[in-house]
Amino acid sequence: MTKDTYSSNAFSIVFHPVLLLCILIIYIYFKHSYKYWKSRGVPQLNPSFPFGDMADVIFRRQNMGDKIRDIYSYARQRGDKYVGLYFFSRKAFLPIDPVLIKNILTKDFNSFHDRGIYYDEKDDPLSAHLFSLAGPKWKNLRAKLTPAYSPKQLRGMFDIIMNCGLQMNEIIEETTNNGGPIEIKEILARYTTDVIGSCAFGLECNTMRNPNAEFRRMGRRAFTQTVGDVLKMIVIRSFPPLAKTLGIGVFSKNVTDFFRRVVRETIEYRESKNLNRNDFLQLLIQLKNNGRLEGSEEKPGTALTMDEAAAQAFIFFLAGFETTSTTSSFALLEMAMNYGVQEKARKEIENAMNRHGGVINYEAIQEFTYLDMIVQETMRKYPPAPVFLRKCTESYKIPDTDIVLEKGLSVLIPAYGMHKDPEYFPNPDEFDPERFNEENRAKIWDYTYIPFGDGPRLCIGMRFAMIQVKIALSLMLKNYTFRLNSRTKLPITMEKKGIILAPIGGIWIDFTEINRS
């Protein structure tokens, strides 16, 4: 075949009438779809074919949290109480007004009780966890798992978490003695991996000493999106029935196989040896065997299957690993740049320890009022989940309007946008823990500060996450002073991929051990 013949054939394929007709039909379909919100009286942006309003996110010029925050700010400037968005041709609704957000999350929860997150119990069992489950299945599982996060159960896990914190402290001490700065996000990621590996999977992961341990590698893989993963997610989000027909899973097969195997082997070992441990996995074993937790007054329900237990352990890891380590990292960043805040927190910790025999225990943690304010302000400025998802589960008429949201529509809750809104939080880029003192906290508008979501689908692991963060921060404050190292790139810019806020280049800290002699 000559070069001219090849070029001619290629030209004829590209401009084949049938192909051109298909492209034209798709274009017309998308253009028609982009009139959806406007035809219903809902303000919208200027969607472009074929990406809708999300070209910057799809091409990784901006992460999802930043994109939704920008749209929120633009809508606020226009005086809109809501705005309609397009992901390719899919529609999504973005409420701006906190009263409407309150209705969606709490008052009218029955119309928005699902997150609309894809899961497939058969071919991708790890995806069928509490965070993604819908309807009665979610409600029943939530009721079963809620006691697992009670103060009593958390107290029982405290020593496990503290142990991981002390191992983290040893690594910081060794690195500091060698004179080097520490990229604190990596250290905290290893700490949270050890905590959750121990509490949710019953494993001594030891990633502090072995950063490339299998559990850490699989954790990294679960949070890493390859090109293939992106293509899979496009199919899953755009054509869920097709994804289920093809058996496409949210997570890669090696990640799914690893976590399923770890849970199965650990449960089988404990049951064969009749071993008990104060951790989350032991509670899952009780739910698997009895349908309820020991000592619970509830009637026994349907017992968990092994895969259901694995899915709940996995979401414990997925939801708590990256969000907790990132929050702790940003808190350290701000304290390293605000030495007065750091010193005030250190004195509070020392005073609480003096009241509790010179140690940091469960009771002392409850008295870290100022440290709690620091964490709250960190989550305001850098919310661990910048956007929350909800799904309209039945037709819903927006109060005081004629607008009806159709069943099946996605709803995005703009936590990051509200947290950085100067009307709700003056000088929003300033780090000020006093926003959350007792007097000022009472002045915060309802539903403008929602780091853990709100309503019946409020994050079930909120207390666990706060204990984990406070243990890490209090150990560092107790033993070190710290300043920002010049390797930290300022101003902080966020990674363009993913939905969790993560700083490009990391957060480098210089630690100086406190001399108590």
DSSP 119-165: -BTTTBGGG-STTT--HHHHHHHHHHHGGGGSHHHHHHHHHHHHHHH
β-pairing verdict for 410-413 and 90-95: parallel
CA angle 48, 244, 249 (to 5 degrees): 85
Q: Yes or no: say if 93 and 409 are a contact pair by the CB < 8 Å rule.
A: yes
Q: Is 411 helix (H, G, I), strand (E, B) or coil?
A: strand
Q: Yes or no: say if 82 and 97 are a contact pair by the CB < 8 Å rule.
A: yes
Q: Yes or no: say if 116 and 410 are a contact pair by the CB < 8 Å rule.
A: yes
- Any known ligand binding at 459? yes
Helix (H) or strand (E) holding 483: strand 480-484
**In this structure, what token pair is assigned to residue 449?**
């500060």
Exposed/middle/buried for residue 391 (C-beta within 10 Å: 0-12, 13-18, 19+): middle
Q: Yes or no: say if 258 and 218 are a contact pair by the CB < 8 Å rule.
A: yes
User: What is the spatial distance between Cα 307 and Cα 126, in angstroms, rounded to a whole number?
Assistant: 7
Distance, CA of 203 to chain centre: 23
Binding residue ranges: 459
Binding residue ranges for heme: 459
